[in-house]
Structure 1
Amino acid sequence: MDGNPITPAGMAALRARYDHLLHGERPGIVEVVRWAAGNGDRSENGDYIYGRKRLREIDRELGHLAKRMAAARVVDPASQSASQSEPHKVLFGCTVEIADDDDNRRTLTLVGDDEQDAGQQRIGWSAPLARALRGASVGDVRVVRLPGGEKNWEIVAINWP
């Protein structure tokens, strides 16, 4: 899969954050800076100094989000599972249950790198574990090379939304 895949929900979250910063937070900070600048001495004006700093942070994040959205390629996992010839392979958007050598099980969903969340068991498409699992079928054993060493994971189940 080429580019930076992202689910429709992930793209919507990026756009919502971008819109919030651009139309919600930034105009408020601009108004505070404008008001603070009118108060005279800017060298010791906390509202002015903090406001300018926050504007730079917002503009930097807006630029980052714009680049990520431009590079992203929206892939709907539900349509991908229906259109593929082999629905029993680990691909973008699927939820996969894996077990290690001690039968410790984990259930993971492969999502775009911009929407990964370890707390919700959502791993990014380019994470080492996701790269190792790509294309595997139920019953396959994959070796994952991590900083702590190698670990074997067996694919127990593959589910699609």
Structure 2
Amino acid sequence: MSSAFLKNETADAPVVIPARPPLPPGTPNYVTPQGLDLLRTELVGLETQRAHLQAAVIDDENERSRQLALLNGCIANLNQRISIAKVVDAQEHDRVRFGARVSLKIQVGKFAGTERVFTLVGVDQANAAQGLIAFTAPLARALQGKRVGETVSWPSQQGQQIMEVVSISYNLT
């Protein structure tokens, strides 16, 4: 049976550090001010977990070592991401750029007449369910530079959609 299905990992099993969302090679780590605050809050949380784990009385020292290694790896990855963060806080407000909250109205397609709202954010802040899309995502790239009234053609599972930019706003603080 694969060790992936066993709960009792050996003490010498490698600790797997979860990867941060990827940035394409050569792409700066753009973040909104809020995105940077979220990264810093995440770092404080991880450091707090590490401090509690170091102070806790645990019978299984191997498990403590594994958990500390995992936390230390996550903290190192996060510190690296924060160190290369480039905060974007000023944009042309008449075009879709990083940090824009964009309202789109579907003009052609199965959902014609439906309005969708997206905010272009950094990769660590992206959450499609909340309408936060990474600036590296294909839809974000297709919207870059568009103005109110311009359209973008977008393939979907229901067929080609044509979406019009209805509004653009920025709230990067």
TM-score bracket for this pair, using the shorter chain length: 0.7 to 0.9
Tell me the residue number matched to 1:12.
Answer: 37
Aligned 8 A contact 1:88 1:158 in 2: yes
Distance 2:34 2:51 in 1: 26
- Map 1:39-118 → 2, pairs under 5 A: 47-76=60-89, 80-81=90-91, 84=92, 87-100=93-106, 101=108, 102-118=112-128
Offset of 1:20 from its aligned partner? 2.4
Distance 1:147 1:63 in 2: 39
SS in 2 for 1:115: coil
Tell me the residue number matched to 2:46.
Answer: 21
Coordinate RMSD, CA, aligned: 2.1
1:30 equivalenced with 2:54 (yes/no): yes
Q: When the two structures are superposed, what TM-score results if normalisation uses the length of structure 2? A: 0.72
Give the number of the structure whose residues are more often helix, by fraction. Answer: 1
Unmatched 5+ stretches in structure 2 = 1-26
Distance 2:80 2:158 in 1: 33
Q: When the two structures are superposed, what TM-score results if normalisation uses the length of structure 1? A: 0.77
Distance 2:159 2:82 in 1: 34
Tell me the residue number matched to 1:138.
Answer: 148
Give me the identity figure in percent. 30
Distance 1:128 1:63, change over 3 A: same
Q: Which amino acid aligns with 2:73?
A: R
Offset of 1:63 from its aligned partner? 1.5
Distance 1:147 1:53 in 2: 43
- Equivalent residue pairs, number: 141
Unmatched 5+ stretches in structure 1 = 37-44
Offset of 1:118 from its aligned partner? 2.1
Structure 1, residues 103-154: CA drift from partner, whole Å, max 9, x if none? 2210111111111122321111111111110000112111235688654322
